[in-house]
Amino acid sequence: MKRNYAAADEVLYHVGFSPAELEGATVAVLPGDPGRAEPLAEALGDSGGDVRKLAVHREYTSYLCQIGGVEVLVCSTGMGGPSVAICLEELARAGVRYLIRVGTTGAIQPGIKLGDIIINKAAVRLDGTGRHYAPLAFPAVASFTVTEALIAAAEACGAPYHVGISASSDTFWPGQERYDSFTGYVRKAFRESMAEWQQLGVLNYEMETAALFVTAQALGLKAGAVCGVVAQRLSGEGVNAGAVYQKALHLQEATVRGAVLKLQKEADVLCGL
């Protein structure tokens, strides 16, 4: 497969930084919210280490931090699959090889509590972006290596976690069968869809993971995803943005840091292959 790497000093059009500025980083942590990039880099980075701002361009806000003395990129992706795929294309050209999505999610199964974390090993493809990279018959699956690292890290830090499949929708309201939108209208195709996903064992709804997994596979990258539960759909459609959200963020940070440290022990990561 052809690899179209960027020149070291080429400033990539969308993310706004060059490969040289990554200082050899091959692991990227990807929050959706641009406002979370800086605090996430500070939380993940080594104690007393420098956190360096790279760029702010469109939905892509990026910082460089050190985890275990190794440079790691933190770059926001914005919301939805198209911006995720654009980000991955340019990160691949810059030499990034491992990706960890950090986001929020709504649980649809009993036994999953607000503030828990969900590690998705695969995703139902309710998005459109992935179809530009692979036919619908192609599965949206995580890298086993990255997923295993996330699970080991969650266990090590005592985070309450669940591993399973997400339903990854391009929309926040109809695609997730939410009725609290402006009109309350949900297309017939999506009515009672949540019950179907529950019956099939799907754990959660979110908006980026399917695009991440399919695009990463198409580009030859390894990706994983960990989301904090900020809504429990069995009890309502509202999102909890208070103490529960902060708990989820803290558990994610501990899990992601541990996973990155584990990935750094892999020779291919250290060699940037």
Catalytic residue (choose from 36, 93, 178, 257): 178
DSSP string covering the chain: ----PPPTT---TTT---GGGGTT--EEEEES-GGGHHHHHHHHSPTT---EEEEEETTEEEEEEEETTEEEEEE---SSHHHHHHHHHHHHHTT--EEEEEEEEEE-STTPPTT-EEEEEEEEEE-SGGGGTS-TTS-EE--HHHHHHHHHHHHHHT--EEEEEEEEES-SSGGGT---SSS----GGGTTHHHHHHHTT--EEESSHHHHHHHHHHHT-EEEEEEEEEEETTT-S----SHHHHHHHHHHHHHHHHHHHHHTTSHHHHTT-
Catalytic residue (choose from 90, 177, 208, 253): 90
Catalytic residue (choose from 93, 101, 233, 257): 233
Catalytic residue (choose from 10, 14, 42, 58): 14
Q: Is 14 a catalytic residue?
A: yes
Q: Is 90 a catalytic residue?
A: yes
Q: Is 52 a catalytic residue?
A: no
Q: Is 266 a catalytic residue?
A: no
By annotation, the residues acting in catalysis are: 14, 90, 178, 233
